[in-house]
Chains A and B, each alone.
Chain A
Amino acid sequence: MIRGDVAPVVETEGLRDSVGEVVPLLSVSRLMVEFDTPFGALRAVNGVDFQIFEGETLAILGESGSGKSVCVQAVMGIIDSPPGNVDAEHIRYQGKELQGLSESEMRKIRGSEIAMVFQEPHAALDPAFTVGQQIGEVLRVHTGCTWGQAKRRARELMERVGIPSASTRLDDYPHEFSGGMCQRVMIAMALALDPRLLIADEPTTALDVTVQAQVLDLLESLKEETGMSLILITHDVGVAAEVAERALVMYAGQVVETGPTGELFTGPAHPYTLGLTDAIPHLEGRQDGLVPIKGAPPDPRNIPSGCPFHPRCSRAIEKCSTEVPVLHSVAEGRSSACHLAEEMFRGDH
């Protein structure tokens, strides 16, 4: 199936229908993550709210240091304390609070309910074991099956993620796989326990563009087959727009805008989102000078007062440097954390 054939608008409307009163698969409220450093506390995530629903694909978009990875690491409970401190009003999975669960309870959630795929597939695999052993280990630990059963299942999984001649490649080591194939192994491992939610943290950033397309296709078709939900963390507006139904734009540890990807990037209601879309060069033709965002993302140890984006924002007014704008609804399904959100939203529509 070819992704480009599905118009994003259609997907958006499908999403709205399903929202209703349904309990979100994962709901995070007022998430705060701080790290103790020798230079003082570093607030990586500052009051993030988000939900993801059954069968949905949500993109978390942001530049380096925006806190997008730390957010999901906090959800997975894989932030060490110290130095990390995680606090949230709630982190609910299928309505059940995850904060305060014991490590053994959390381990049951990780893998079998929520699984994760990381950016550097070669770094995430152990070089000393064959990929078959590594996929098999997941199954053995979680289901207590025999090695023979685990190995058979590992082969099935490798076939399912499109690794050619899976039965022989089972006994190969990670270094014998290309980046794209390694990422498929990681995906196979993540799928081993049939999770309801897959979190993919920059899964294609280290890959070439043709391989990226293959891996994104794979994620999409697996999602369709299994009905699982997908959180895709990315810095690439194009990837987010093409794969996800809804996106969360993060800046300096906060959500600055959220909405269906189709509308969000073509009619942003936050100057940062607009800045991102203006700054990217297009494949379709050369622009007369790109419009960059001035300056650089802030140091997380030293977040600007008021709106964290105000020093780089061309629309900033006085209020922006003193008052923190809260994320609020500007239209159905659309929220923005900008004092001028309504004006921007109307201006662009």
Chain B
Amino acid sequence: METTDSLQAVPDSTVLRVEDLVKDFPVRSKTSASRSRDVLRALDGVSLEVNPGETLGVVGESGCGKSTLARIVLRLERATSGDVYFRGKNLTTMPSRQLVDLRRYIQMVFQDPFASLDPRMTIGEIVREPLEIHKGLVPTGSEHEKSIELLELVGLRRADAERHPHQFSGGQRQRIGIARALASEPELVICDEPVSALDVSVQAQILNLLQRLQDELGVSYVFIAHDLSVVRQIADRVAVMYMGKIVETGLVDQVYENPLHPYTQSLLAAVPASPGRQRRFAGLGRLEGEVPSPINPPSGCRFRTRCWKATQKCADEVPGLSAREHDHPSACHYADPIVLAGEDSRR
């Protein structure tokens, strides 16, 4: 891991670099009668990197901050503190005017293909719109041809350009969303739960499409999902989030084969097995309870209230994200691979 203090010397080879991102949302206090405000810390010191042509999977349960992270990277939301660098340029401090030009390079694919396309526009118009906003991407007059090319790239037909979103199925709409995202030739596409609204038979089509487009175009993805199997299929590296923090990160195989953080271990153990296979870490038992309120999170390690390894140290000291003696970083004082023998499991 490189040190983070040399702001100018951020290497350009990294597509996205997020440093110590914090996001607070003010919320009305529930307990006190006065108008005092509580703070919900949605992101608490998140750092990550995305390299060219790579897919970083971000997994976690609802409320862990993964979508807030996406919105801040796209600057749809302002960070409370911390920085987001795209190709070495700091997006968090960039004037809006400049940001518009840069947005060309960072695009997004949304979760709900039924809500993310304007029902009054034709497919051709939807895909053409980015080309009209970002002038100079294609020679004037050839926008239509380019939009057809994009539709064909994602597996739709030329004739589809004249049709409206309601005439398409969910999977096809997601293809349209992907074509639009790719129109401005982005280097980074943030995919926020892009297949979770789709039927399984169609989900595989979209995953394969995203994979093929990456191979052909060299685009990087941040792939946000709650489905751990989907992330294993598509990502090169993965970051596991819990209550606004990354608790474990590494190559997909490292994290899935050899999870070190108790939360990652429980998460993997909770997924039903593929037919004919045994559930992973079946002897681990169930993670009990629920995610505590983010307004008043536990001291120290935020997972300690549900953790079977927790000690006084976990309440006193926030564990840092570091590799310790292992091959990938995790944020646990007692990070260790699972040994499922005898009394080691928690029940």
- The answer to whether B272 touches A238 (Cβ under 8 A) is yes
A276-B211 in contact given A213-B286, A238-B275, A282-B274 (Cβ < 8 Å): no
A104 within 8 Å of B (CB atoms): no
**Shortest CB–CB separation between residue A232 and chain B, in angstroms?**
12
Chain A residues within an 8 Å CB radius of B269: 213
Q: How does the 8 Å CB contact mask read for B277-306 relative to A, with 1 for contact and 0 for none?
A: 111101101111010000000000000000
**Shortest CB–CB separation between residue B220 and chain A, in angstroms?**
18
- The answer to whether B230 touches A281 (Cβ under 8 A) is yes
Closest to B61 in A: A208
A284 within 8 Å of B (CB atoms): yes
- The answer to whether A282 touches B229 (Cβ under 8 A) is yes
**Shortest CB–CB separation between residue B255 and chain A, in angstroms?**
12
Chain B residues within an 8 Å CB radius of A261: 275
- The answer to whether A63 touches B199 (Cβ under 8 A) is yes
Interface pick from A38-46, A91-99, A128-136, A285-293: A285-293
- The answer to whether A2 touches B233 (Cβ under 8 A) is no
- The answer to whether B266 touches A210 (Cβ under 8 A) is yes
A209 to B229, CA, bound (A): 11
A242-B273 in contact given A281-B233, A296-B172 (Cβ < 8 Å): yes
B36 within 8 Å of A (CB atoms): no
A344 within 8 Å of B (CB atoms): no
Chain B residues within an 8 Å CB radius of A209: 61, 226, 228, 267, 270-271
Chain A residues within an 8 Å CB radius of B171: 296
Chain B residues within an 8 Å CB radius of A210: 61, 266-267, 270, 286-287
A211 within 8 Å of B (CB atoms): yes
Closest to B278 in A: A4
B90 within 8 Å of A (CB atoms): no
A279 within 8 Å of B (CB atoms): yes
Chain A residues within an 8 Å CB radius of B226: 208-209
CB contact between A286 and one of B205, B252, B285 (< 8 Å): that residue:
B252
A287 to B270, CA, bound (A): 21
Residues 232 to 254 of chain A near chain B (Cβ within 8 Å): 235-239, 241-243
A64 within 8 Å of B (CB atoms): yes
Residues of A within 8 A of B (CB-CB), count? 54
Closest to B263 in A: A210
Chain A residues within an 8 Å CB radius of B202: 292-293, 296
Q: How does the 8 Å CB contact mask read for B170-194 relative to A, with 1 for contact and 0 for none?
A: 1110000000000000000000000
- The answer to whether B271 touches A238 (Cβ under 8 A) is yes
A5 to B211, CA, bound (A): 36
Interface centre among B171, B226, B230, B233 (most CB of A within 10 A): B233
- The answer to whether B207 touches A281 (Cβ under 8 A) is yes
A266 to B269, CA, bound (A): 21
B169 within 8 Å of A (CB atoms): yes
Chain A residues within an 8 Å CB radius of B274: 237-238, 241, 280, 282-284
**Shortest CB–CB separation between residue A244 and chain B, in angstroms?**
11
**Shortest CB–CB separation between residue B61 and chain A, in angstroms?**
4
- The answer to whether A283 touches B280 (Cβ under 8 A) is yes
- The answer to whether A289 touches B208 (Cβ under 8 A) is yes
Question: What are 19 A-to-B residue pairs whose CB atoms are below 8 Å?
Answer: A2-B283, A63-B201, A179-B62, A208-B62, A208-B226, A212-B270, A213-B269, A214-B288, A236-B200, A236-B272, A238-B275, A261-B275, A262-B276, A265-B275, A266-B275, A281-B207, A284-B277, A289-B208, A296-B199
B-side interface residues toward A, CB under 8 Å?
61-62, 169-172, 199-205, 207-208, 211, 226-230, 232-234, 252, 256, 266-280, 282-283, 285-288, 290
A-side interface residues toward B, CB under 8 Å?
2-5, 63-64, 178-181, 208-214, 216-217, 235-239, 241-243, 261-262, 264-266, 275-287, 289-294, 296-297, 312
Known: A209-B267, A213-B286, A264-B275. 6 other contacts (CB 8 A): A238-B273, A242-B272, A243-B272, A281-B232, A286-B252, A296-B202
